[in-house]
Amino acid sequence: MEAAIKTVVSVFLKSSKGKENLGGKEFQSLVKNQLKNILTGSEDNEAVKNMRQQLDNNQDGKVGFQEYMNLIGYLAQAPAYYSFFQELGCISQCFSKLFTLFSLSTFSLAQQ
């Protein structure tokens, strides 16, 4: 688990070039390069911009570390939701509602 935490932090620091926030281009690059196997839609510039804006809780136009961690937390929880939704028999519909709740409606999890 320590290695995973180090990776999450180092990806942020590398992507932000040591700054406290990810600007639009940095966030776009992070999503395209680091999340392309997890999120479908990561190549859609407008969708990534929308996601950045939704994550930007303080509306400063950037994604800070805590805002980035909100995204990581959501992605970490997604597999548990998948199993639960599979049991309910509503994978596609339930994920659609969950993505809307997390303001990521233009994205979906890539098939693993």
Look at domain 2-109 and name its CATH class: mainly alpha
Tens-place pLDDT, residues 46-89:
888 888 988 898 999 999 999 999 889 888 877 777 666 667 77
Q: What is the CA radius of gyration of the chain?
A: 14
Q: Looking at residue 44, what is its pLDDT?
A: 83
Q: Which two tokens stand for residue 47?
A: 């969708």
Between CA 60 and CA 77 the distance in angstroms is 26
Which string of b and e fits 25-45 if b means at least 16 CB within 10 Å? ebbbebbeebbeeebbbbeee
Check residue 65 and give its pLDDT: 96
What's the confidence (pLDDT) of residue 51?
84
Domain boundaries, the chain: 2-109
